[in-house]
Structure 1
Amino acid sequence: MSSTIIISILVGLIVLVLFVGAPVKPMRFLGQGIVKLAIGVLFLFFLNVFGGAIGLHVPINLFTTAIAGFLGIFGLASLTAIQIFLIV
Structure 2
Amino acid sequence: MDPILYISLAGIGVCLFLLLGGNMKPFRWAGSIFVRFIIGALALFFLNVFGSAVGYHLPINAFTVAVSGFLGVPGVVMLVTVDLFILS
Please report the TM-score for the alignment, with normalisation by the length of structure 1. 0.73
Q: Which has the higher Rg, Structure 1 or Structure 2?
A: 2
RMSD: 1.5
For structure 2, the 5+ residue unaligned runs are 1-14
Q: Between the two proteins, what is the percent identity of the paired residues?
A: 47
* Number of residue pairs matched by the alignment: 70
- Alignment partners' CA distance in 1, 2:84 and 2:56: 7
- Alignment partners' CA distance in 2, 1:45 and 1:73: 13
For structure 1, the 5+ residue unaligned runs are 1-17
Does residue 21 of structure 1 match 2:20? yes
Letter in 1 for 2:29: F
Residue in 2 that maps onto 1:59 = 59
Matching of residues 1-88 of structure 1 within 5 Å: 19=16, 20-21=19-20, 23-85=23-85, 86-87=87-88
Extract structure 1 runs of 4+ deviating beyond 4 A.
none
